[in-house]
């Protein structure tokens, strides 16, 4: 394509600031202060992550930078100009993509080209380059409303690039995307940054922020931490100790057991679905002592691990400093049902069994031979890309859709899954939270208490519990509409579990919520599981899947892998290696041409390479040295994301042609990881 792509990055020796922001303040008319003195220095070619929870001021900051909002005070310069005068140098992608649903891919692009004053003669060329690059060329006649989430984001990015901007601003581009679409988008961004385009990406997800070369952690309108991700991780001066716990039943007690030691070096203890993670400023002593303590308490451990803290660790530690442990209290849930009559669920007994579920729509198999079993007290994660069949499966499991074939057993009921007694044992929280925007928090809870027929005497008590457990005291009389997403999510969770259900279905409960809010929600979820409820969670955030006791991956309507998170990660034929090249883009292109393109992925400035066995690493080394890079490979652990993408790719290759056809007819993008520079 263009020759700008082959330019090596020359970031280190340019002092040219693309964005300079000093003491930026934004106060809205209604009084809310979104930014309280923001400072930013962003250099040419930076892939800059603006990371923070909801309401941190990310969107406001981007809007001011894009010149579509006036700041209250402070100084903002983009390439030396005021933002409103620099608009022609900026490409801006708002949170919802801002595409015209009634226009086709091509028409959307042409419209933006026209607005940016691109000559008509250049438009054909533009179309070719941008749509081709993003793999959208063959969908150019499809209406934007018919695109999948990932394709929408790519089209939105194309539209932002059409005016040849020096700076692109993306507002939470990956919210709602599945891992494959996310990876493709980040690779596109990475390519752009290597071409010299500066990019600022706002995101609430810390795992993906590691792919930026600089990040700023935003909280309450200010930047709390700033720097390259690795520097921030190292500056924390801590190690992440992982204790793999075999005795799952006692996992919930583990944090308290470690707490008892009251080690000064331990800063954070956090349980995952099958392991405990401890953040400690010191390694040897702490590890030994904790291991001893856990063993004494009767927890069986397999080998432990030690690694660098993640960005999430960094952020959580910082937030804890700022929030001074505000959400530490847990409140006992008043289980009115179990006390009264029915025998409580026993851990280990299956709450939900599904055998050979099939659902066909016309001649499309949305769900194909899915079998699941979820026990009381277990958190089960159902993962999959968009269109993999998760939602249809969950609908059949809770009786909202009738399976074409197969059998579902829900709390012992096989025939009528919609009967009142069964429904009362089910809690369901949908992605959209189904709260009434114009009612207050308390009114919403009152309404749901009525819907679930909680006895009048107990209503007050249950509502009080939700308000306490979900930390809603300060906002109980606020109108829901005005609250940030993280709050809404907790209210919705409270509303879904207020009637003390035995099985809780959570459909993407954390889409777009920040890490601290997610932790709080997961603490609640774990409390419920500990009290004996069976919990089914769907998500496409793979870091979150680590919280589950067991997982099932769905792709192309089937379950293609299942087990505990550690089992899934361990159950890979391949080996994962990290490469830290000098010229990431060049190394990426060379490697993806030499190997299968799906084996190589960009993570920030490093590459992840998936190899079938150790011996292939020699080949990679020789490829690297021929490309002028140091032939160094470091073996690393699979993340769930790597595992997921690997499993999905293998499944696709196993039955290639047929599945691709299906994916396309179901309105989804093909999962090919188009290498951006592959055809030059």
Partner 1 sequence: MFNTFLVQTVKELKEFRRDRLSVALAFLLPLFSLLLLGFGIRLESKSIPVVVRDSDNTSLSREYIARLYATNMFVPADADPKESLTRAIDRGEAKVAVEIPKGFTGKVFTGSVSPFKVYIDGTDISNVQVLTNSIEAANLYFLSVLHQTRQPDAQLSPVVPETRLWFNPGREERLFIVPGAFAIVLWMYPALLAAVAASREKEQGTMIRVYASNPNPLSFLLGKAAPYFMISLVMAIMVMTVGAIIFNVFPVGDPTPLIVSTPLYVLVSVLFGLMLGTYAGSQTTAVQATSSIGFFPCLLLSGFVYPISNIPFPLNLFAIVVPGKYFIELTRDAFVRGTGWSAVWYVPVVLILFCIVELGLSCMALRRMQEKD
Distances (CA, A) of 652 to 461, 558, 598: 51, 11, 12
Using N-to-C axis directions, what is the helix angle for 284-296 and 254-261, rounded to 10°?
120
- Rounded to a whole number of angstroms, the minimum distance from the CB of residue 95 to partner 1 is 8
Residue (of 289, 295, 281) closest to 245 by Cα position: 295
Give the number of residues in contact with partner 1, rule: CB under 8 A: 36
Nearer to partner 1, 157 or 311 (CB): 157
Reading the block at residue 256, the tokens are 């308290």
- Rounded to a whole number of angstroms, the minimum distance from the CB of residue 72 to partner 1 is 9
Instruction: Find the angle CA(378)-CA(346)-CA(299) to the nearest 5 degrees.
Output: 60
- Rounded to a whole number of angstroms, the minimum distance from the CB of residue 25 to partner 1 is 13
Site for partner 1 in 428-457 (CB under 8 A): none
Give the one residue of 10, 22, 70, 288 binding partner 1; rule: CB under 8 A: 70
| β-sheet bridge partners, residue 250 | none
- Rounded to a whole number of angstroms, the minimum distance from the CB of residue 287 to partner 1 is 50
Nearer to partner 1, 69 or 400 (CB): 69
The strand pair at 167-171 and 198-203 is best described as parallel
Give the one residue of 18, 21, 66, 276 binding partner 1; rule: CB under 8 A: 66
* Segment contacting partner 1 by CB under 8 A, of 94-102, 244-252, 313-321, 420-428: 94-102
* Residue 92 makes contact with partner 1 by CB under 8 A: yes
Q: Across 197-332, where does the E strand assignment appear?
A: 198-203, 214-219, 222-227, 239-245, 266-271, 275-280, 301-307
Site for partner 1 in 99-158 (CB under 8 A): 99-103, 107, 110-117, 143
Residue (of 430, 416, 412) closest to 504 by Cα position: 430
Alpha-carbon distance 26 to 33, whole Å?
6
Reading the block at residue 435, the tokens are 């709260």
Site for partner 1 in 158-217 (CB under 8 A): 159, 163
* Segment contacting partner 1 by CB under 8 A, of 60-68, 233-241, 413-421, 432-440: 60-68
- Rounded to a whole number of angstroms, the minimum distance from the CB of residue 88 to partner 1 is 6
Residues in the chain: 680
Reading the block at residue 142, the tokens are 């499809």
- Rounded to a whole number of angstroms, the minimum distance from the CB of residue 453 to partner 1 is 34
DSSP assignment string, 497-535:
HTT--SEEEEESTTTT--HHHHHHHHHHHHHHHHTT-EE
Nearer to partner 1, 65 or 319 (CB): 65
Give the one residue of 20, 95, 431, 639 binding partner 1; rule: CB under 8 A: 95
Write the interaction track for partner 1 spanning residues 9-48; mark x where CB under 8 A is met and - where it is not: -------------------xxx------------------
* Residue 261 makes contact with partner 1 by CB under 8 A: no
- Rounded to a whole number of angstroms, the minimum distance from the CB of residue 69 to partner 1 is 5
Alpha-carbon distance 577 to 620, whole Å?
10
DSSP assignment string, 129-174:
HHHHHTT-GGGTTSBGGGS-HHHHHHHHHHHHHTT--SEEEEESTT
Under a CB-based contact definition with an 8 Å cutoff, are residues 42 and 202 in contact? no
Write the interaction track for partner 1 spanning residues 299-338; mark x where CB under 8 A is met and - where it is not: ----------------------------------------
Alpha-carbon distance 534 to 504, whole Å?
6
Give the one residue of 87, 240, 488, 569 binding partner 1; rule: CB under 8 A: 87
| β-sheet bridge partners, residue 577 | 609, 635
CB-neighbour burial class of residue 256 (10 A; exposed 0-12, middle 13-18, buried 19+): exposed
- Rounded to a whole number of angstroms, the minimum distance from the CB of residue 141 to partner 1 is 12
- Rounded to a whole number of angstroms, the minimum distance from the CB of residue 87 to partner 1 is 4
* Residue 55 makes contact with partner 1 by CB under 8 A: no
Reading the block at residue 305, the tokens are 């691990």
* Residue 635 makes contact with partner 1 by CB under 8 A: no
Nearer to partner 1, 99 or 263 (CB): 99
Under a CB-based contact definition with an 8 Å cutoff, are residues 403 and 359 in contact? yes
Site for partner 1 in 390-429 (CB under 8 A): none
Nearer to partner 1, 44 or 87 (CB): 87
- Rounded to a whole number of angstroms, the minimum distance from the CB of residue 677 to partner 1 is 28
The sign one gets for the Cα dihedral 70, 75, 79, 85 is positive
Instruction: Find the angle CA(434)-CA(435)-CA(440) to the nearest 5 degrees.
Output: 175
- Rounded to a whole number of angstroms, the minimum distance from the CB of residue 75 to partner 1 is 18
- Rounded to a whole number of angstroms, the minimum distance from the CB of residue 103 to partner 1 is 6
Reading the block at residue 487, the tokens are 């709050």
Q: CB-hemisphere CA count at 13 Å for 323? A: 15
* Residue 67 makes contact with partner 1 by CB under 8 A: yes
Q: Which helix (H) or strand (E) holds 5?
A: none
Reading the block at residue 343, the tokens are 């025998």
Alpha-carbon distance 437 to 365, whole Å?
36
- Rounded to a whole number of angstroms, the minimum distance from the CB of residue 97 to partner 1 is 8
Nearer to partner 1, 9 or 63 (CB): 63
- Rounded to a whole number of angstroms, the minimum distance from the CB of residue 270 to partner 1 is 36
- Rounded to a whole number of angstroms, the minimum distance from the CB of residue 267 to partner 1 is 40
Q: Measured in whole angstroms, how far is the alpha carbon of residue 258 from the centre of its chain?
A: 29
Alpha-carbon distance 555 to 560, whole Å?
6
Nearer to partner 1, 113 or 609 (CB): 113
Give the one residue of 88, 140, 371, 662 binding partner 1; rule: CB under 8 A: 88
Give the one residue of 84, 281, 293, 371 binding partner 1; rule: CB under 8 A: 84
Nearer to partner 1, 481 or 634 (CB): 481
Tally of CB atoms within 10 A around 246: 12
* Segment contacting partner 1 by CB under 8 A, of 8-16, 47-55, 86-94, 195-203: 86-94
Using N-to-C axis directions, what is the helix angle for 456-469 and 485-497, rounded to 10°?
150
- Rounded to a whole number of angstroms, the minimum distance from the CB of residue 63 to partner 1 is 6
Nearer to partner 1, 112 or 153 (CB): 112
Nearer to partner 1, 60 or 538 (CB): 60
Alpha-carbon distance 230 to 662, whole Å?
41
* Segment contacting partner 1 by CB under 8 A, of 85-93, 212-220, 373-381, 611-619: 85-93
* Segment contacting partner 1 by CB under 8 A, of 59-67, 420-428, 452-460, 554-562: 59-67
- Applying CB under 8 A, the residues found at the interface with partner 1 are 28-30, 63, 66-70, 84, 87-88, 90, 92-96, 98-103, 107, 110-117, 143, 159, 163
């Amino acid at each position: 394509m263009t020759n700008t792509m082959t330019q090596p990055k020359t970031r280190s020796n340019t002092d040219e600031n693309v964005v300079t922001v000093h003491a930026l303040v934004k106060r809205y008319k209604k009084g809310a202060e979104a930014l309280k003195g923001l400072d930013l220095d962003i250099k040419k070619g930076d892939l800059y992550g603006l990371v923070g929870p909801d309401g941190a001021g990310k969107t406001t900051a981007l809007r001011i930078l894009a010149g579509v909002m006036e700041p209250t005070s402070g100084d903002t310069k983009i390439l030396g100009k005021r933002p409103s005068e620099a608009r022609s140098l900026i490409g801006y992608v708002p949170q919802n993509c801002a595409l015209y649903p009634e226009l086709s891919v091509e028409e959307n692009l042409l419209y933006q080209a026209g607005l940016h004053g691109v000559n008509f003669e250049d438009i054909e060329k533009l179309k070719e380059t941008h749509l081709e690059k993003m793999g959208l060329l063959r969908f150019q006649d499809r209406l934007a409303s018919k695109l999948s989430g990932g394709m929408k984001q790519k089209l939105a990015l194309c539209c932002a690039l059409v005016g040849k901007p020096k700076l692109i601003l993306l507002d939470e581009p990956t919210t709602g995307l599945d891992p494959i679409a996310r990876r493709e988008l980040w690779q596109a961004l990475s390519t752009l940054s290597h071409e010299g385009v500066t990019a600022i990406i706002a995101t609430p997800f810390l795992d993906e922020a590691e792919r930026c070369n600089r990040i700023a952690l935003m909280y309450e309108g200010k930047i709390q931490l700033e720097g390259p991700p690795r520097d921030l991780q190292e500056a924390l001066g801590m190690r992440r100790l992982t204790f793999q716990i075999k005795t799952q039943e006692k996992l919930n007690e583990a944090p308290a057991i470690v707490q008892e030691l009251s080690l000064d070096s331990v800063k954070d203890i956090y349980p995952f679905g099958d392991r405990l993670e401890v953040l400690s400023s010191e390694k040897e002593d702490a590890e030994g002592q904790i291991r001893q303590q856990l063993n004494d308490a009767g927890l069986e451990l397999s080998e432990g691990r030690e690694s660098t803290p993640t960005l999430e660790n960094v952020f959580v530690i910082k937030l804890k400093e700022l929030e001074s442990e505000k959400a530490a209290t847990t409140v006992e849930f008043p289980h009115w049902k179990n006390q009264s009559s029915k025998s409580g669920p026993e851990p280990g007994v299956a709450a939900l069994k599904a055998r050979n579920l099939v659902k066909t729509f016309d001649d499309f198999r949305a769900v194909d031979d899915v079998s699941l079993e979820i026990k009381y007290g277990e958190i089960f994660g159902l993962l999959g890309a968009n269109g993999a069949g998760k939602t249809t499966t969950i609908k059949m499991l809770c009786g909202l859709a009738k399976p074409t074939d197969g059998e579902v057993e829900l709390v012992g009921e096989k025939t009528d899954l919609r009967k009142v007694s069964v429904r009362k044992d089910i809690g369901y929280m949908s992605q959209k939270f189904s709260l009434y925007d114009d009612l207050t928090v308390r009114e919403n809870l009152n309404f749901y208490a009525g819907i679930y027929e909680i006895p009048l005497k107990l209503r007050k008590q249950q509502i009080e519990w939700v308000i306490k457990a979900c930390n809603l005291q300060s906002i109980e009389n606020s109108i829901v509409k005005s609250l940030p997403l993280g709050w809404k999510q907790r209210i919705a969770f409270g509303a879904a579990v207020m009637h003390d259900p035995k099985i809780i279905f959570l459909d993407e409960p954390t889409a777009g919520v920040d890490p601290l809010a997610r932790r709080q929600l997961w603490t609640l979820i774990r409390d419920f599981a500990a009290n004996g409820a069976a919990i089914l969670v769907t998500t496409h955030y793979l870091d979150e899947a680590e919280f589950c006791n067991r997982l099932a991956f769905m792709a192309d309507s089937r379950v293609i892998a299942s087990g505990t998170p550690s089992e899934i990660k361990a159950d890979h034929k391949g080996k994962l290696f990290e490469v830290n090249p000098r010229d990431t883009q060049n190394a990426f292109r060379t490697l993806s041409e030499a190997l299968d393109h799906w084996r190589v992925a960009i993570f920030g400035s490093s590459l992840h390479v998936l190899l079938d066995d150790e011996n292939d690493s020699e080949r990679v080394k020789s490829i690297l040295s021929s490309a002028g890079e140091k032939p160094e490979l470091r073996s690393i652990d699979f993340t769930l994301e790597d595992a997921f993408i690997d499993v999905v790719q293998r499944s696709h290759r196993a039955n290639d042609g047929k599945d691709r056809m299906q994916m396309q007819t179901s309105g989804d993008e093909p999962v090919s990881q188009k290498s951006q520079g592959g055809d030059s």
